[in-house]
Copies of this chain bind each other. A is one copy, B any other.
Amino acid sequence: MIIAVIGDSSCSLEEARLAEAVGEQLAERGATVICGGLGGVMEAVCHGSKSKGGLTVGVLPGEDSSMANPYVDIPIVTGVGYARNMAVVKSAGAVIAIGGSYGTLSELAYALKRGIPVIGLNTWSLSRNGQEDGSIIRVDSAVGAVDKAISLAKSSVGYG
Protein backbone atom coordinates (compact mmCIF):
# COMPACT_ATOMS: atom_id res chain seq x y z
CA MET A 1 0.00 0.00 0.00
CA ILE A 2 1.25 3.46 -0.95
CA ILE A 3 0.25 6.56 1.05
CA ALA A 4 1.09 10.10 -0.07
CA VAL A 5 2.21 12.68 2.46
CA ILE A 6 2.05 16.29 1.25
CA GLY A 7 3.22 19.55 2.81
CA ASP A 8 5.55 22.45 2.30
CA SER A 9 9.31 22.40 1.80
CA SER A 10 9.54 24.88 4.64
CA CYS A 11 7.47 24.03 7.71
CA SER A 12 7.12 24.66 11.42
CA LEU A 13 8.76 22.43 14.00
CA GLU A 14 5.33 21.15 14.97
CA GLU A 15 4.59 20.18 11.38
CA ALA A 16 7.97 18.47 11.09
CA ARG A 17 7.24 16.47 14.24
CA LEU A 18 3.83 15.46 12.91
CA ALA A 19 5.34 14.42 9.58
CA GLU A 20 8.09 12.44 11.30
CA ALA A 21 5.50 10.59 13.40
CA VAL A 22 3.34 9.93 10.35
CA GLY A 23 6.37 8.46 8.59
CA GLU A 24 7.15 6.20 11.56
CA GLN A 25 3.56 4.98 11.78
CA LEU A 26 3.31 4.30 8.05
CA ALA A 27 6.53 2.26 8.13
CA GLU A 28 5.31 0.26 11.12
CA ARG A 29 2.11 -0.57 9.25
CA GLY A 30 4.06 -1.65 6.17
CA ALA A 31 2.94 1.25 3.97
CA THR A 32 5.28 2.85 1.42
CA VAL A 33 5.51 6.65 1.62
CA ILE A 34 5.28 8.71 -1.55
CA CYS A 35 5.95 12.44 -1.43
CA GLY A 36 7.43 15.31 -3.41
CA GLY A 37 10.95 14.32 -2.34
CA LEU A 38 12.18 17.75 -1.20
CA GLY A 39 12.71 19.29 2.30
CA GLY A 40 10.40 20.32 5.12
CA VAL A 41 7.40 18.04 5.60
CA MET A 42 8.68 15.81 2.77
CA GLU A 43 12.05 15.28 4.43
CA ALA A 44 10.52 14.74 7.88
CA VAL A 45 8.12 12.05 6.71
CA CYS A 46 10.91 10.25 4.83
CA HIS A 47 13.17 10.45 7.88
CA GLY A 48 10.43 9.03 10.09
CA SER A 49 9.76 6.19 7.67
CA LYS A 50 13.44 5.26 7.32
CA SER A 51 13.92 5.29 11.11
CA LYS A 52 11.45 2.40 11.22
CA GLY A 53 12.74 0.58 8.16
CA GLY A 54 10.09 1.84 5.73
CA LEU A 55 10.36 2.45 1.97
CA THR A 56 10.18 6.01 0.60
CA VAL A 57 9.53 7.34 -2.90
CA GLY A 58 10.23 10.99 -3.80
CA VAL A 59 8.63 12.36 -6.97
CA LEU A 60 10.83 15.29 -7.96
CA PRO A 61 9.98 18.32 -10.09
CA GLY A 62 13.38 18.93 -11.72
CA GLU A 63 15.84 17.36 -14.11
CA ASP A 64 17.95 15.27 -11.73
CA SER A 65 17.86 13.76 -8.26
CA SER A 66 20.20 16.26 -6.61
CA MET A 67 17.29 18.01 -4.88
CA ALA A 68 16.02 14.81 -3.22
CA ASN A 69 16.26 14.74 0.57
CA PRO A 70 18.67 12.11 1.93
CA TYR A 71 15.87 9.82 3.15
CA VAL A 72 14.37 9.17 -0.29
CA ASP A 73 14.99 5.57 -1.38
CA ILE A 74 13.57 5.88 -4.88
CA PRO A 75 13.86 9.30 -6.50
CA ILE A 76 11.56 9.69 -9.50
CA VAL A 77 12.93 12.48 -11.69
CA THR A 78 9.90 13.60 -13.64
CA GLY A 79 11.17 16.57 -15.67
CA VAL A 80 7.62 17.99 -15.67
CA GLY A 81 8.01 20.65 -12.96
CA TYR A 82 5.09 21.01 -10.58
CA ALA A 83 2.96 18.73 -12.73
CA ARG A 84 4.70 16.18 -10.56
CA ASN A 85 2.17 17.19 -7.89
CA MET A 86 -0.39 15.08 -9.74
CA ALA A 87 1.86 12.01 -9.69
CA VAL A 88 2.39 12.30 -5.94
CA VAL A 89 -1.30 11.99 -5.12
CA LYS A 90 -2.52 9.79 -7.99
CA SER A 91 0.01 7.10 -7.05
CA ALA A 92 -1.47 6.81 -3.56
CA GLY A 93 -4.46 5.08 -2.03
CA ALA A 94 -4.90 8.02 0.35
CA VAL A 95 -3.25 11.37 1.00
CA ILE A 96 -2.20 12.89 4.33
CA ALA A 97 -1.82 16.71 4.16
CA ILE A 98 0.25 18.37 6.88
CA GLY A 99 0.13 22.17 6.92
CA GLY A 100 1.08 23.27 3.45
CA SER A 101 1.09 26.22 1.10
CA TYR A 102 -0.18 26.64 -2.48
CA GLY A 103 1.70 23.62 -3.85
CA THR A 104 0.00 21.45 -1.25
CA LEU A 105 -3.30 23.08 -2.19
CA SER A 106 -2.82 22.01 -5.82
CA GLU A 107 -2.07 18.48 -4.64
CA LEU A 108 -5.14 18.13 -2.49
CA ALA A 109 -7.23 19.65 -5.29
CA TYR A 110 -6.00 16.93 -7.67
CA ALA A 111 -6.65 14.22 -5.08
CA LEU A 112 -10.19 15.41 -4.38
CA LYS A 113 -10.92 15.73 -8.12
CA ARG A 114 -9.81 12.12 -8.59
CA GLY A 115 -11.76 10.85 -5.56
CA ILE A 116 -8.68 9.90 -3.56
CA PRO A 117 -9.30 10.43 0.19
CA VAL A 118 -7.48 13.37 1.80
CA ILE A 119 -6.79 13.42 5.53
CA GLY A 120 -5.81 16.81 6.93
CA LEU A 121 -3.58 17.83 9.85
CA ASN A 122 -3.60 21.63 10.28
CA THR A 123 -4.02 22.08 6.56
CA TRP A 124 -6.22 24.11 4.21
CA SER A 125 -9.96 24.64 4.74
CA LEU A 126 -12.07 25.20 1.68
CA SER A 127 -15.43 26.83 1.13
CA ARG A 128 -17.52 27.90 -1.84
CA ASN A 129 -20.22 30.55 -1.76
CA GLY A 130 -20.06 30.65 2.02
CA GLN A 131 -20.50 26.89 2.40
CA GLU A 132 -17.68 24.81 3.78
CA ASP A 133 -16.41 21.97 1.58
CA GLY A 134 -16.21 18.98 3.92
CA SER A 135 -14.15 16.72 1.68
CA ILE A 136 -10.94 16.92 3.68
CA ILE A 137 -11.16 14.52 6.62
CA ARG A 138 -9.85 16.33 9.71
CA VAL A 139 -7.77 14.51 12.29
CA ASP A 140 -5.65 15.82 15.14
CA SER A 141 -2.84 13.33 15.52
CA ALA A 142 -0.33 11.39 13.45
CA VAL A 143 -1.82 8.09 14.60
CA GLY A 144 -5.31 9.26 13.69
CA ALA A 145 -4.12 10.33 10.25
CA VAL A 146 -2.43 7.02 9.52
CA ASP A 147 -5.39 4.98 10.82
CA LYS A 148 -7.75 6.85 8.52
CA ALA A 149 -5.40 6.78 5.54
CA ILE A 150 -4.80 3.04 5.68
CA SER A 151 -8.43 2.25 6.27
CA LEU A 152 -9.62 4.45 3.39
CA ALA A 153 -6.87 3.44 0.97
CA LYS A 154 -8.19 -0.10 0.91
CA SER A 155 -11.24 0.94 -1.09
CA SER A 156 -9.75 3.92 -2.91
CA VAL A 157 -9.67 4.45 -6.69
CA GLY A 158 -5.98 5.06 -6.38
CA TYR A 159 -5.22 1.81 -4.63
CA GLY A 160 -3.27 -0.59 -6.82
Q: Is A10 an interface residue (CB 8 A)?
A: no
For chain A, the bracket of interface size reads 35 or more
Q: A66 to chain B: closest CB distance in Å?
A: 8
User: How far, in angstroms, from A158 to B34 measured CA to CA in the complex?
Assistant: 20
* Majority SS at the chain A contact face: mixed
Are A74 and B74 in contact, with the CB atoms below 8 A? yes
Query: 8 Å CB contacts to B: which residues of A104-118?
Result: 105-106, 109-110, 112-114
Q: Is A11 an interface residue (CB 8 A)?
A: no
Taken residue by residue from 51 to 66, chain A's Cβ proximity to chain B (1 for < 8 Å, 0 otherwise) reads as: 0000001010001111
User: How far, in angstroms, from A159 to B112 measured CA to CA in the complex?
Assistant: 30
Q: A55 to chain B: closest CB distance in Å?
A: 8
Which residues of A does B touch, CB under 8 Å?
2, 32, 34, 57, 59, 63-66, 68, 74-83, 86-87, 90-91, 99-103, 105-106, 109-110, 112-114, 122-130, 157-160
Are A126 and B129 in contact, with the CB atoms below 8 A? no
Q: A134 to chain B: closest CB distance in Å?
A: 13
Are A81 and B102 in contact, with the CB atoms below 8 A? no
Are A109 and B102 in contact, with the CB atoms below 8 A? yes
